[in-house]
């Protein structure tokens, strides 16, 4: 279930949004305070944030700047929801990093449609940048690999090996092919270096919670990912 964080200082707006979002099948978190909302976003990692401009303690626009500069939150889509309807306000919000900008009073139906559009665009971007096989997820943009919730540290060559195996899941990749694709002109020698890197890669995956032998050895040929 996708999770949406609503940040607004008007309780009736929060309740209106909560009702309609839950009808659409979303889980709803809410806050009326910018500082609290930021920590909630850090802890809960919502799929989307609905953000009011006028908030106590810290303005919505300052909160948006903080979200966009935070490495854990910068990619979360944000829709500004505000009574500030001047063109320059909209331009400022979009320039700082809002994915959409809706002024109050708003149409609930239009808002739901825009939420779906932003989330669909966000999912598409995520799908393009993240590979998943079982419990393994590999982020192509951040060069990060996780087994479940455990982030693991790989060398560049181990990362490239894993990426190639994941992209070609079920296909047998020969040692010569792997050596050429990953080492290329940098290495002229035995394909045994591939075996060594595969061994280290397997060990790191298993040490971080992967129980099955997901990288299969094809004797005399190479490797494939199950």
pLDDT digits (tens, 9 = 90+) for 109-168: 999 999 999 998 887 666 677 888 888 989 887 889 998 888 899 999 999 999 999 989
168-172-174 Cα angle (round to 5)? 110
CA-CA distance, 56 to 67, in Å (whole number)? 17
The reported pLDDT for the residue numbered 135 is 85
- Tens of pLDDT, residue by residue over 33-51, are 999 999 999 999 999 999 9
Q: Using only C-alpha atoms, what is the Rg of the chain?
A: 23
pLDDT (average), residues 159-188: 84
Q: What is the mean pLDDT of residues 184-213?
A: 80
Helix (H, G, I), strand (E, B) or coil at 114: helix
The whole model's pTM is what?
0.60
Domains of the chain: 3-129 (3.40.50.2300), 134-225 (1.10.10.10)
Measured from the Cβ of residue 67, the count of other Cβ atoms closer than 10 Å reads 23
Structural contact between residues 159 and 165, judged by C-beta atoms closer than 8 angstroms: no
């Amino acid at each position: 279930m996708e999770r949406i964080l609503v940040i607004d200082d008007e309780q009736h707006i929060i309740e209106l949004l909560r009702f309609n979002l839950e009808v659409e099948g979303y889980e709803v978190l809410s806050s009326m305070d910018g500082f609290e909302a930021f920590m909630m976003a850090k802890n809960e990692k919502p799929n989307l944030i609905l953000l009011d401009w006028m908030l106590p303690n810290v303005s919505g626009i300052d909160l948006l700047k903080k979200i966009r500069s935070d490495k854990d939150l910068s990619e979360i889509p944000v829709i500004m929801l505000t009574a500030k309807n001047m063109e320059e306000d909209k331009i400022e919000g979009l320039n700082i990093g809002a994915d959409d900008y809706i002024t109050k009073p708003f149409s609930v139906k239009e808002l739901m449609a825009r939420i779906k559009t932003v989330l669909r665009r966000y999912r598409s971007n995520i799908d393009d940048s993240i590979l998943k096989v079982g419990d393994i997820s590999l982020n192509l943009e951040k060069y990060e690999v996780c087994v479940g919730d455990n982030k693991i540290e790989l060398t560049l060559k181990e990362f490239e090996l894993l990426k190639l195996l994941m992209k070609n899941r079920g296909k047998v990749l020969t040692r010569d092919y792997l050596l050429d694709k990953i080492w290329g002109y940098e290495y002229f020698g035995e394909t045994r270096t591939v075996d060594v890197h595969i061994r280290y890669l397997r060990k790191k995956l298993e040490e971080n919670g992967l129980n099955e032998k997901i990288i299969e050895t094809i004797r005399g040929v190479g490797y494939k990912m199950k």
